[in-house]
Amino acid sequence: QQQVKQSPQSLIVQKGGISIINCAYENTAFDYFPWYQQFPGKGPALLIAIRPDVSEKKEGRFTISFNKSAKQFSLHIMDSQPGDSATYFCAASKWTGANNLFFGTGTRLTVIP
Amino acid sequence: EAGVAQSPRYKIIEKRQSVAFWCNPISGHATLYWYQQILGQGPKLLIQFQNNGVVDDSQLPKDRFSAERLKGVDSTLKIQPAKLEDSAVYLCASRSDRAFNSPLHFGNGTRLTVT
């Protein structure tokens, strides 16, 4: 059972454009939603995270938008750069305790110069 | 700080053989995880340790997979015997307990190919 569904599977964006990746979850107990960035041959690295007490979180060119009623959250990358080309994973878990992160299936982003 | 170290980087074995992976977490990180990442999928938790105790191993195929974390530092993950479907990248991650819900730090993984 896929706890977190992610789309699209791949995304090609022109340099300077906006990249948008969407995720949906089923478990209403989830209350922590991080995004991880993974470059080829490397492990995932935390990019940005949000808790559902806010609807949006912005860090530089990266913004998470969260819709609790729809159980959906998305990552927006503004002014996308070729260096942003990577695979992005959304994830979800409970905030408290020994939280197991459930990952989405990933989105391979390619930013064309 | 030094990152999570994993070895070997790559491993190719035949089915029914055994293999072991090693992980050295970031110093002081009490929580250690092993994830399996099959090509084209997100990481899936296999086992979670808190110091040298197992917190969650519900998704570990215990008939063939085993893991230990002696002395609450380094960890090894073993597969015996390996199956073709075990081909994947095995990621180790660690997390500090000093800050509430601190992020997971991943190693670069071991890519296993079972032929």
| CA–CA distance, B30 with B49 (Å, rounded to integer) | 8
B115 assigned to some structural domain: no
Q: What is the mean pLDDT of residues B2-14?
A: 96
- Tokens 């995932």 sit on residue: A44
Dihedral angle, C-alpha A72, A62, A101, B40, nearest 10 °: 90
Q: Which residues pair with A89 in a beta bridge?
A: A36
What ranges do the domains of chain A cover? 4-112
Give the pLDDT confidence of A20-76 residue by residue, as tens digits.
999 999 999 898 999 999 999 999 999 999 987 888 999 999 999 999 999 999 999
Residue-number span of the structural domain to which B69 is assigned:
5-98
The pLDDT, as a whole number, for residue B2 is 82
Evaluated on CA atoms A91, A92, A95, A101, the torsion sign reads negative
The pLDDT, as a whole number, for residue B46 is 96
B76 assigned to some structural domain: yes
B39 assigned to some structural domain: yes
Instruction: Count structural domains, chain B.
Output: 1
Question: Which residue, A103, A86, A98, is CA-closest to A10?
Answer: A86
Q: Which CATH architecture has domain A4-112?
A: Sandwich (2.60)
| CA–CA distance, B90 with B28 (Å, rounded to integer) | 22
Choosing among B101, B105, B108, B111, which should be mutated to test the A contact, i.e. which has the most A CBs within 10 A? B101
Residue contact A43–B91, C-beta within 8 A: yes
Compare CB distances from B56 to A42, A100, A103 and report the shortest one's residue.
A100
| CATH, residue B53 | 2.60.40.10
The distance of A33 to chain B (nearest Cα, Å) reads 11
